[in-house]
Amino acid sequence: MPVQLSDKEFEYLVGDALDAIPPELTDAMSNVVVLIEPSDPHDPDLLGLYHGVALTERTSDYAAVLPDTITIYRDPILQMCDSTEQVADEVTITVVHEIAHHFGISDEWLHQNGWG
């Protein structure tokens, strides 16, 4: 049975996951915003999505652009979990996974190293 959390409770879990990221990494993040949405309209099972230009791919031409986005999708995470603790763990994994993409880390490396 999916876990029931209010939007605000889920937002706190995302905030906790972001707070757990070491400051030397969050200080290095540039021009990125974290959003929470119910689900991705094209892939309802998607847990998170990074959309933008990774720091490793930015050139001197990277200027005056809209922020990159990290979107965490609430509904699929809640549907796959059986407890609030499991939701918190999955939110953390998803947040770390998407932030890693901002730093140019591939899905392959993340999966090989236990980050979904």
pLDDT tens for 69-115 read 999 999 999 999 999 999 999 999 999 999 988 888 777 877 777 76
Fold category of 7-105 in CATH: Zincin-like (3.30.2010)
Query: Contact 1/79 with Cβ under 8 angstroms?
Result: no
Per-residue model confidence (pLDDT) at position 111: 75
Q: What does pTM read for this prediction? A: 0.86
CB 39 within 8 A of CB 75: yes
Helices 84-102 & 7-19, crossing angle to 10 degrees? 50
Contact (Cβ atoms closer than 8 angstroms) between residue 72 and residue 35 = yes
